Amino acid sequence: MKKIIVFAVMIATTLAFTLTTSAKGDKTFSGKLVDSKCYSMMPKMNASNDHMVKGMDGKPMKVKACATACASMGIPVGILTEEGKMLILAVPAGQLSQQMAKNARIQGKVLHGVLIVNKLEVKNGKKWTEVKISYMM
C-alpha cells in the first residue's frame, strides 16, 4: 500500500511539473495581423489589408484586400507587434484570411523565430473575439 501511495505522489508531482513548465513558456503578443510576404517587401506601405505592389510596368499600384487574398492562398500570416517586430504564426493562413489587418493578441511561445499559437483573439470594435484555429494533428 505504501508503495502505491509513493508511486501516485511521484506521478502527480511529475504531471504538475510538466504542466507548469509548458505553461511558463507562453507569452502574450499584441499587434496587427499582416501578410508576411507583402509586409516584408514594403513594410511602410503594407501593414493594412490593401497593399501597394509593383505593377507590370514597374510602377506601384494599389491592390484592394491583398492581405486577405494572400492568406487565402496560404501565404503565412504574421503579427506585427507593438514593438515593431514581425513574427510568423504557425497556423493555417487561410483560417485567418478574414482577420487580416485586425488588432490581435496571441498567447503562445516563439520557437526558432516562429510563434506557436495557443490562443488567438482579434478585436472587433471594442470586443475581443477568440478565433478558433483547427490543426490536422
User: Which is it for the CA torsion 47, 100, 38, 115, positive or negative?
Assistant: positive
Tell me what pLDDT residue 2 has: 53
Output the tens digit of pLDDT for each of the chain's 137 residues: 554 443 333 443 333 343 444 456 799 999 999 999 888 887 777 788 887 887 889 888 888 999 999 999 999 999 999 999 999 999 999 999 999 999 999 999 999 989 999 999 999 999 999 999 998 76
Strands 114-124 and 86-89: parallel
Tell me what pLDDT residue 4 has: 46
Tell me what pLDDT residue 100 has: 96
Taking a C-beta distance cutoff of 8 angstroms, is the pair 117, 133 a contact? yes
* Domain map (residue ranges) of the chain: 26-130
Amino acid at site 132? K
HEC secondary structure over 60-119: EEEECCHHHHHHHCCCCEEEEECCCCEEEECCCHHHHHHHCCCEEEEEEEEECCEEEEEE
Tell me what pLDDT residue 64 has: 94
Tell me what pLDDT residue 136 has: 76
Looking at residue 20, the DSSP 8-state letter turns out to be: H
